[in-house]
Amino acid sequence: MKSPAFGYHDPGTVSEAVGLLATLPNARVLAGGQSLMPMLNMRVVLPDHLIDLNGVAEMSGVSIRDGLLVIGAMTRQRDIEFSDSVMAHCPILPEALLQVGHRQTRNRGTVGGSLCHLDPSAELPCLAAVMDAVIETASPRGRRQIGFA
């Protein structure tokens, strides 16, 4: 089966993405696509609009800020697996990622996608809860930080 027709949107910034989400009815967000694409193809999800976050550069990357490990929502699991910063600040994370599916899944899957999908048996949500991760969200009202656990 193939996915139904939908409007495709490719924002370049978080502000653009938030604006699209706030104004488009029945929109879904595409990160790595590991969960969404099969649901689209099986017509479990029938969005009118698809907002592709892959072009939002500010949502990707690994850095250290004020001694804390910061990982962007669009950072690929594979990039975390081989990050020296992640290995130095949270060595259990690359180890846990080795348990996430096969290499192809880690090549496309994103941190944000895994956390938003919130499969209770998945490695990243469990680890985020155990490590007291803080998630930064954005909406038309601004940004805020929320404790994951």
Confidence class of residue 117 from pLDDT cuts 50, 70 and 90?
Answer: confident
- Token pair for residue 9? 């949107």
Q: For the whole model, what pTM was predicted?
A: 0.90
Task: State how far the alpha carbon of 142 is from the alpha carbons of 9, 129, 130, 145, in Å.
Answer: 21, 24, 27, 11
Evaluated on CA atoms 147, 36, 14, 69, the torsion sign reads positive
Domain boundary assignment for the chain: 7-55, 59-147
Half-sphere exposure of 25 toward its Cβ, with a 13 Å CA cutoff? 0
Strands 27-30 and 62-65: unpaired
Give the residue-averaged pLDDT of 122-130. 90
Sole residue written with tokens 């698809």 = 50
SS3 label, residue 99:
coil
Report the percentage of the chain scoring pLDDT > 90: 76
pLDDT at residue number 81: 93
8 Å CB contact between 21 and 47: no
DSSP annotation of 133 reads -
Q: CATH second-level architecture of 59-147?
A: 2-Layer Sandwich (3.30)
Which class would CATH give 7-55? Answer: alpha beta
pLDDT in tens, 55-95: 999 999 999 999 999 999 999 999 999 999 999 999 999 99
